[in-house]
Structure 1
Amino acid sequence: MVLHKLRERRIFTLLVKEKDSQLISLQLLFQLNAKGGS
């Protein structure tokens, strides 16, 4: 039971990290586009 919870939390953390990196790359792209556009 405890092991299962730990595994779930690890999967959740991995998903969150993945989403975070996607958001960061999107922000970087947006900043680059904004700078290039002006």
Structure 2
Amino acid sequence: MQTLQNGYKGLSLLMLLNWDRALYLATIAAALWLGAYLGSL
């Protein structure tokens, strides 16, 4: 049980440190999708 809690804390810390990278990738994906959509009109 303690190993599971430590693993969860580590994952939580990893997400806290890298949330901006996930946001960056989501923004790029959204921009590419929007560009493809507008280009197909």
TM-score tier by shorter-chain length is: 0.5 to 0.7
Identity %: 10
Aligned to 1:36: none
The aligned length equals: 30
Task: For structure 1, list consecutive stretches of 5 or more residues without a partner in the other structure.
Answer: 32-38
RMSD of the alignment, in Å? 1.4
Aligned equivalent of 1:18, options 28, 32, 35: 28
Structure 2 residue 18 is matched with structure 1 residue 8: yes
Give the TM-score of the pair, scaled to structure 1.
0.63
Task: For structure 2, list consecutive stretches of 5 or more residues without a partner in the other structure.
Answer: 1-9
